[in-house]
Every structure is written in structure tokens, then in C-alpha cells.
Structure 1
Amino acid sequence: MNAPATFDTVAAPLPAALLDALQAAFGTRCSTALAVRQQHGRDESVFDVPPPQAVVFAESEAEVAQVVALCVAYRVAVIPYGAGSSLEGHLLAVQGGISLDVSRMNAIVRIDTEDLTVTVQPGVTRKQLNEALKHEGLFFPIDPGADASLGGMAATRASGTNAVRYGTMRENVLGLRVVTAAGEVMRTGSRAKKSSAGYDLTRLLVGSEGTLGVITELTVKVHPLPEAVSAAVCFFPSIDAAVRTAMTVIQVGVPIARCELLDVHAIRAVNAHDRLGLKEAPMLLMEFHGSPASVEEQAATVQALAADHDGDAFEWATTPEARTRLWAARHHAYFSAVQTRPGCRAIATDTCVPISRLAEHLNASIAEADAAGLPYFVVGHVGDGNFHLTYLLDPDRPEERDTAERLSAQMVARAIALEGTCTGEHGVGLHKQGFLLEEMGAEALAAMRAVKAALDPLGLLNPGKILPPAA
């Protein structure tokens, strides 16, 4: 089951009394201007949905609670909005309502260098946080590519290039402050590294995509900047050889920090966009963190393992400038590839499987894409069994959208059959709802519905996301 390409339901007009109350409380920070609403009604997905009916820019936790309480009183949907970089339709107003923009809540509240924790407001972006942390000799490792907000990253349980060593948002969020559907502020977790106190509400809310509450503050783990960092690229005769190298690196226990795959289509795109001059062949981009001796040892081990799979043309980068040049290939892959087909739209599908099944899954997915003849490219966090296959579509040719959705469904079905998941990091949003029953079963889906009903009985928090429509 795939999500529809358009949503034709016309939302009821906003109650005039609600709009009056919001404009009285927020003045120009409550906007009904079409341009502002359209900005908050699009993410990086391909869904065409009418924009929210109004946008409110909150600047404090109290204001978030005020907006939620007003929306609940008037039975109007409220959709949290951070940086707008989501990929699966998370922020779209499928039932109309208010887009609650928390991007102005961007203060770094507290840096605890001795405890290796940081407390931030939800609008703080990962680049902003790391810029502040570098002066303390620390860094926040979660790197989904886009300069996403930490509130949005927690809401979608983001991960990215460093997850193979440092984990995802699930492992790095210690505590939250959240405005509930009742307009009340709830605190979860603490700054302690572990706890056995009651239900783990923090983990419940991380990945809930704004459907259970609006995050207003996060306490996250940070890490010391490694003493030595080295990056390398290695090229392979085939995708299979590259993936099997990555599998071997993980299976023998090399503590690699990043292990990213780019296929030949992605390499061609970034070469054209950034003039990098990389060899046009499947490539692994790797990074090693630790002491100078441990980094050297890790790198030598990986180079030997790559040679066993015909990897060659190793290029090493030990200076920040050289590493930035290499990582530009990975971070620019999406937008570089989109520019190879002007005017196109992209469907970026991600799945994650046990590392032992990665080669099987990726090889089959690429074979299906090649047979379909639709332009695509592959990038992936192959060190943890996660990859993204992105199809480039002509929006004026609906048959291309149909082909991409068919390929995506086949890819997801295979991932689930291989004991994997329909999404490794993008989240469910609108696009992956139809796969939850197959992946989790009716009992788990019923439990999720019960949690949603308990915490949001009116169904007003980011409605229409995660849970498929009830039959």
C-alpha cells in the first residue's frame, strides 16, 4: 500500500475566534500570508498537499503551550515545524490547521562539559550546536546531511553518517521537555546516563514525528572531539564489492566512525556539481576517529580488507580542508543529482536490514531500478545496513511516479522479508504508513493506536502521520 500523490480533502475554515485569539497574542508572528503558508506546506517529499491555514512563530515554551491549548479548544490540528527538511511528508497539513514554527526557539540553554551533555531548544540546528561546541573540544555526532533542527531530528529519530559508531538520536537524547495535547508541559528523562525509573517516555517521544507532543527542549549527549581524524575514499569494480567490503569491516569489529557508499550515478552528479574529479566508480567514503596510532591501525586494516574485494585508488585526507572536500561528495549528492534532471522531483526511499543481508538487498534493488529504466542514484550508510535509493521523476509524467512507487514498495517488502525495516532514518510520515502492518503486525499497530489515543485523544497533533488510516 502506497500513500496517495495528492490530498483532495478541503479543510474546514479556521474558526474566526481562534484566528482572532492567535493574532491578538502573536501579532505579526501569526501569519495567513500565502507565501508563508506555502513555505510551511512543503518538505522534500513529492506530496502535493494544500498548505496550513495559518503559521504561528513561537519563541518560548509558554507560547507553544498557548498555541496548542487554543487549537485543542477549537478542535484544530497543530503541526510542529522546525527546518522543513523532512523527506516523507511529516510536516504537511493533510487536515488543515496551524503550522507551529519553533525555529526561533534556538537557544543553547546549557553546556555541561564535565558531564558531556547539552541542553538546547528545539530550533537549534546541528551546525549551530557544533559551532558552539568546538570551543569546548566537543561535538554532537548526529549528521543527517541537512542542517536540520534538533527538535525535528528527535521527532524523526534521525541518524546519518556517524551512526555506525555513535548511534542515532534514540541513543543520544537523554531527556525532553514536551507540550502535550492538553497544553501542559511534561518532562521526561534526566541528565543521568541511565535510568530504570518507570516507562521510557523519552524513547517513546523520540521518533513520534510530532504526533504525541511538541518538543520544546532537549538534553543530548555530546562527545569529545577525537584526537586524530582521517578520511579515505576507495573505489570498487562493482556495488557488490563495495558493500561486501563494508560488511566485512563491521563484522571484524573495526570501530569505523563513518562508512558511506556512493554509486556511479551519485559520483557523476557530484563531479559535475562540485568539480571534484573523482573516479566514476562505486565508492566507499570512510572516516576513522581515535588516537593517531588507533586511526592508523584502523585505516591499514580497512585498506587490506578493501584490497580483498579489488578496492583501489585509495585517497587519504588527514587535514580538515581535505576531509571537507571528500565529504562534500556525500553531503551534496542529493541536490547534485537532482540538478542532473532539471525540473525533476525526487522520491528518496530508505530501508535498513541486518548487515549480513545488505548485499543481497542492495543488489536486488539496483537490478530492479536498472530494469525499470528510471533515473536513480544510491547513497547509503552501509556501515549500519542502511541505504537510500532515490528516483528522479518528471512531474509531468505520472507513469514515472507510478514506477517509482512500485520500485519503492518492492524494495520495502524485500527489506521486511530480510528481517529489516521499511525506514532506517527518514521516518514514516505519509509515505511508509502502508508498510507498518506488514512490518510490525496487528498487535503492535493496535498498541500504537492506543498510545496515540491516550496522549492525543482528539487526534489534533500532526494528524494523518505514522498510523495508517483505520480500515
Structure 2
Amino acid sequence: MVQATDLPRNEAGIAAVLGILKQQFGERFQTGQALREQHGHTTTWIKNQAPDAVVFAKSTQDVSDIVGVCATHKVPVIAFGTGTSLEGHVNAPAGGISVDLSQMDKVVEVNPGDLDCRVQPGVTREALNSHLRDQGLFFPIDPGANASLGGMTATRASGTNAVRYGTMKDNVLAVEAVMADGTVIRTGARARKSSAGYDLTRLLVGSEGTLGIITEITLKLQGIPEAISSARCSFPSVEAACETVQNVIQYGLPVARIELLDAMVVRAVNGYAKLSLPETPMLLLEFHGSDAGVVEQTGTFATLAEENGGTDYQATTTMEERNKLWQARHDAYWAMLALRPGCKAVATDVCVPISRLAEAVGAANAKAAELGLIAPIVGHAGDGNFHASLLLDMDDTGEVARAERYVSWLNDLAISMEGTCTGEHGIGQGKRPYIVKELGAAVGIMAVIKRALDPNNIMNPGKIFPADQ
């Protein structure tokens, strides 16, 4: 297990807060060890740092009350959605209170005529899309896991549809949030644009709970396309597949999804999902539009792929076949685990300019082989984001050390290519050493904002900023 630094604890303040919140919230206040550890655990290799208590909030007022008590006694507050984050975001390095938002799970309103909705933070993306389906609408951001929309907003998530529909920052119109003193603010309205002051919405989207706790989100929606076609195409090499992706983007083809699977991932998916895909690098795609538009798009892609050695191109508009194909992609994490039973999968998250994608993926494969690591690669290739998932024996200290060197090397590589160490997972604890390398003096400005809005550093401390900021 990778170690995470513990921060100084305010023992007197924590004791006072525990007593107050227990009396105020009754059965919704819990201190059981297993529950606390679950609220400090994510799918990460970072050491679990459990909070001192978990409080289940049901309203914005609940969150405000909890934060207000913690602010008075200078005790940390950590927001918790579904626990699917990957960089230690919900750990409590200084102890404190985990505010579980899962019971704030109402779709407050849907405005079909304006293509927007308001939701509480505990609503998951799957639940929202189920709610919207009979109105011919959907929310396009799909990070793979059935994450909460509050967590997706806090980490500026994206996923498979980002190449067409953007990331959370492009789809959040406004948020309601509880700030570090318990004050409730709203950052905007339902209007599609505004020039009214600082863009506090964008400040809170991606702030990882370090500035405030998001208690409501106003989201853009999309109409369900008239026609959807999914396709797959095999390639002789990762480089050929990436070259095709670059051609697609430069051509302006409005592809909705374009996902890269290397040969190792395809082999894993075949075994896990009982498929018989050619075990070579592959692109999975989806096209949205009118019937005629989708036919034209799929034909254009087939031509571009053929020019780069693409073979076995198959497209389908059948919902059952489309769902089967994309379910296999979403199950890739579990499929990769089956390649090495008993291992831990640690997903990296770099993103580079499209023109450097082939070079970056090739270098990542070569470096893993050099270090004797198993690191299958999947990627949201349309925006240059890819994940090398290290399959590790966590009891092998030598292997873990090599993996740490690999992750550091890969982050540095992406930054050297004018990319980023995190395309969508966020900084959390795991990426803190790289944010200054990537953003330089801008991190100091972020730290000034953090201190101004959270002078006692109670909002998710120990995340994003290096220890000296």
C-alpha cells in the first residue's frame, strides 16, 4: 500500500464536534470502524485514512449545520459521494467528519424545453438517465463507474463521450455549495451564459471539495439522438490506431466516442465477456445524429481507418449489439484484473495533445516492459487521454517500487509533451507532487484562493496542494 502523509489532528476540536453531531443527528451519525474505513477507501493504492465519524446528510441545511459546527471547532470536513474516486480524495489525513451525500438523491426539476435539470449531489449518472429516458433526454458524461453527480462535478470528470459533449466543466450551468463557514451560495442561474462577475461555477467544478461542498447542480442535457451507430475496428499497431484518431479529429468527423484498447485489453475483454474480437489494438466508436448523418459518418471513418491499415471494421445500430460492445468496454477494469488474479489495478490518467498520443502510448508500453510491469492500456483517444492500468502484487515491495517509478515517469512524460498528469481523475493525494511541475506559479494563486475561502483549512485538507503550499 502506498503511504499517505498524516496531518496534525485537532483532538480537542474533534472530540467536541463528535459530541455535538451525535446529539444533533442521532442515527445518521455513525462511528463504526468498518463504515469509517469504507468512507476513507477508494479504488486506489493509497493508504486508508478513515474519518472519525460519518454523518448522512439529507439536505443542504444538514450540510450547512455540519460544516458550521466543524468550522467553529476547526475540524476537517470531507464530502463523500459513492467512493469511486481514484486518487485518495475521500481520505481523512487529519481525521474529521465525512459528510455522506448519498441520501441527497433527488432530481429536483427537469426543464425539457431548456434542456437542463437540477439535481442533488447524491444522484448517480445512471439514475439521472433512467429518470430522463421517457422525456427523450440524456446526460452525456459517462466516466464508466456509476459515480454520483456531486463527485463528478467536484473532480471535473469526463469519460467516453467527452470528445463530442465535453467534460463536467462544459455541462454544469451552476452549483449550490456550502462554504467553509457554513454559508450557502449559488453560483449562477439556468441561463446559458452570463457576464456577472467571477465565474465561481468553474472555480468549484474540479475543486475536489477543498473550497466547499456541492449540494445541488444545474446541468445541461442533450436530446437522445435520432440514430446511434456503434463500431469497432482492429489495427496492426497502437500507433496505427492513434494515427487514425488524429485523422478523425483533424477531418472534423463528429464522433461521439472513440476509445482505444490495446491488444492486452482486447484479450482480457474476450475472456471476461466471452467475445471473439481480434486480439490486436482496437478502436471502439459511436456516432450520433440523423439516420443519413450516421451512415455518412460511419462510411467516412471506414475510409480513414483503411488508410491506416484498419481491418475487420463492423458497425451496428442494433441496441442490443451496441450495449454489448460498450458493456465490454466498461467492464475492461474487471477484465484486466482477471489477467492476474489477486492483483491490484492502479490506473494512471495522463492526457496529451492528440498529435502526441501515439508517441506517448508507445513510450508507456515500452517503459512498462523495461520495468517488468503488466500495464494494459485503454484510452479516451479522441481527447488524448489514456489509462495504463498497472496490475500489481501489492505484497511485492520491489514491484510496487517499480510501479511508483513508472507512474512518476509517465506523469513527467505527459507534462513534457504539454499535456497533463490527470485528464479526469483529479489530483487528490496521489498527484500532489506533479501539480507544480505542470502549472508552476499558478498553484500559488490557487493556494491564495484556498486560504481566502477556507482560512482554517478544514475543507478536505491534504488534497491538491503540495505540503509547502
Band of TM-score, shorter chain: over 0.9
Find the aligned partners of 2:9 and 2:448 in 1 and give their Cα distance: 26
Matched residue, 2:400: 401
Residue-pair matches, total: 468
CA positional deviation for 1:452: 0.2
Matched residue, 2:276: 277
Matched residue, 1:463: 461
Matched residue, 2:426: 427
Find the aligned partners of 2:436 and 2:19 in 1 and give their Cα distance: 42
Alpha-carbon spacing, 1:15–1:166, altered in 2? closer, same or farther (3 Å): closer
Amino acid at match of 1:285: L
CA positional deviation for 1:12: 5.0
Any idea what SS the aligned residue of 2:98 has? strand
Q: Which runs of 4+ in 1 moved over 6 A?
A: none
- Decide whether the 8 Å contact of 2:169 with 2:205 is kept in 1: yes
Matched residue, 1:177: 176
Deviations 1:6-36 (A, max 9, x none): 4456745464332121111111111000111
- Decide whether the 8 Å contact of 2:10 with 2:74 is kept in 1: no
Superposition pairs of residues 55-70 of structure 1, within 5 angstroms: 55-70=54-69
Amino acid at match of 1:22: L
Alpha-carbon spacing, 1:438–1:15, altered in 2? closer, same or farther (3 Å): closer
Q: Would you say 1:160 and 2:122 are equivalent positions? A: no
Matched residue, 1:236: 235
Matched residue, 1:374: 373
Q: Would you say 1:440 and 2:458 are equivalent positions? A: no
Matched residue, 1:454: 452
Any idea what SS the aligned residue of 2:321 has? helix
- Decide whether the 8 Å contact of 1:351 with 1:422 is kept in 2: yes
Deviations 1:283-307 (A, max 9, x none): 1000000001110001000001100
CA positional deviation for 1:346: 2.0
Superposition pairs of residues 40-439 of structure 1, within 5 angstroms: 40-439=39-438
- Decide whether the 8 Å contact of 1:7 with 1:49 is kept in 2: no
Find the aligned partners of 1:335 and 1:189 in 2 and give their Cα distance: 39
Deviations 1:249-290 (A, max 9, x none): 011100000000011111122211111222211110000000
- Decide whether the 8 Å contact of 2:176 with 2:216 is kept in 1: yes
Any idea what SS the aligned residue of 2:197 has? coil
Find the aligned partners of 1:409 and 1:15 in 2 and give their Cα distance: 35
Any idea what SS the aligned residue of 2:113 has? coil
CA positional deviation for 1:49: 2.6
CA positional deviation for 1:340: 2.5
Any idea what SS the aligned residue of 1:114 has? helix
Any idea what SS the aligned residue of 1:215 has? strand
- Decide whether the 8 Å contact of 1:267 with 1:329 is kept in 2: no
- More deviation, 378-387/341-350: 341-350
Deviations 1:172-229 (A, max 9, x none): 0000000000101011021111111110000010000000000000000000000000
Alpha-carbon spacing, 1:7–1:447, altered in 2? closer, same or farther (3 Å): closer
- Decide whether the 8 Å contact of 1:7 with 1:48 is kept in 2: no
Find the aligned partners of 2:111 and 2:49 in 1 and give their Cα distance: 43
Amino acid at match of 2:444: A
What TM-score, normalized to structure 2? 0.98
Find the aligned partners of 1:259 and 1:55 in 2 and give their Cα distance: 40
Find the aligned partners of 1:16 and 1:467 in 2 and give their Cα distance: 27
- Decide whether the 8 Å contact of 1:351 with 1:412 is kept in 2: yes
Find the aligned partners of 1:66 and 1:165 in 2 and give their Cα distance: 40
What TM-score, normalized to structure 1? 0.97
Which stretches in structure 2 are left out of the alignment for 5+ residues? none
Any idea what SS the aligned residue of 2:288 has? strand
- Decide whether the 8 Å contact of 2:256 with 2:286 is kept in 1: yes
Amino acid at match of 1:446: G
CA positional deviation for 1:342: 2.3
- Decide whether the 8 Å contact of 2:229 with 2:288 is kept in 1: yes
Find the aligned partners of 1:89 and 1:247 in 2 and give their Cα distance: 33
Any idea what SS the aligned residue of 1:141 has? coil
Q: Quick one: percent identity of the two aligned structures?
A: 53
Deviations 1:313-349 (A, max 9, x none): 1122211111011012210011221232222222211
Which stretches in structure 1 are left out of the alignment for 5+ residues? none
Amino acid at match of 1:212: L
**What is the RMSD of the two structures over their aligned residues, measured on CA atoms?**
1.3
Find the aligned partners of 2:6 and 2:124 in 1 and give their Cα distance: 34
Deviations 1:350-372 (A, max 9, x none): 11111111111111111111222
Find the aligned partners of 1:200 and 1:254 in 2 and give their Cα distance: 31
Deviations 1:155-183 (A, max 9, x none): 00000000000000000000000000010
Any idea what SS the aligned residue of 1:232 has? strand
- More deviation, 272-281/239-248: 272-281
Any idea what SS the aligned residue of 1:465 has? coil
CA positional deviation for 1:399: 1.4
CA positional deviation for 1:4: 5.5
